[in-house]
Amino acid sequence: MENYTLSNGVQIPVIGYGTWQALEGETAYQAIQAALAAGYTHIDTAAVYGNEKSIGRAIKDAGIDRASLFITSKVWNTERGYDKTHQAFEKTLSDLGTDYLDLYLIHWPANAQQFPEQWAALNAETWRALEELYQAGRIKAIGVSNFLVHHLEALLETAQVVPMVNQIEFHPGFMQESVVAFCTAHHILVQAWAPLGTGKMLGNETLISIANKYEVSTAQLCIKWCLQHGTLPLPKSVTPARMQENKAVFDFTISDADRQTIDALPYIGGSGLNPDTIAF
């Protein structure tokens, strides 16, 4: 597995194993054990996923050295603010059975629809807690998730540390160009959640045709496309064979012409979640 280098020099594996959606309890435990056996060292989770305890148990039972893993989690929306973020972080560490995180993110920005007068201040206070934990050496890198340009601009007005990562929905048909451009300009690595969309990528005739040309799966094509855009994809599968397939993308390169064809695809599926209008 190759690595990206974050703005603070921390190395992060270029493909992570995503654990969002239906990965709880024994399912999560078995999936993480399979992912570790398949060679994944980068695990992405969040408190709200409800699987941190299962992930921690799977890692412990696998007997893998913690230092060889890159573990990401996120503070959930109900725990925003300086004090609550500190408390949420301690619970995440306890549930995962570790004494540090490699990356900790603000899961969603507080938005103006929910918090008309205080969204920026709420994000700033949450970020202040992350900065403090980072400076204390309890997190190796800190970042945000689902932040649009105006959320990032507001955060940078008071931030002492520029986020190292912004994890956003990114896949064919939904590239969020303005967010990616802003992140690139500020040396913020973009992580791509839902790199296969909502599964509709896998049935798209254009993507299938291009994938056939390279003798790869449509999922592999989408993951490689993310990598060639300099983003970090976080595919999820509970099938061991697909876990292996999703990380076997380093022996082909998408041509510029084919990449441009994929770039030009219209919206063909996604979560539909807008950070400015979410109410959770």
Q: Which CATH class is domain 10-198+232-238?
A: alpha beta
Task: Give the whole-angstrom CA distance, residue 132 versus residue 11.
Answer: 21
Q: Where along the chain do its domains lie?
A: 10-198+232-238
Beta-strand pair 11-13/232-233? unpaired
If phi > 0 it is left, if psi is from -120 to 50 it is alpha, else beta; for residue 215 that is left
The secondary structure element, H or E, covering residue 245 is: helix 240-247
- For the full predicted model, state whether its pTM sits above 0.85: yes
Bridge partners for 70 per DSSP: 42
Q: Are 221 and 38 in contact (CB under 8 A)?
A: no
Task: Kindly give the parts of the chain with pLDDT less than 50.
Answer: none
**Residue 28: in which H helix or E strand, if any?**
helix 25-37
Q: How far apart are CA 224 and CA 215, in angstroms?
A: 13
- Which entry of 49, 82, 104, 267 is annotated as an active-site residue? 49
Helix boundaries (H) for 79-166? 82-96, 119-135, 149-156
Identify the pLDDT of residue 22: 59
Residue 134 falls in the annotated catalytic set: no
Structure tokens at 62: 């696998």
Residue 63: its pLDDT value, please?
95
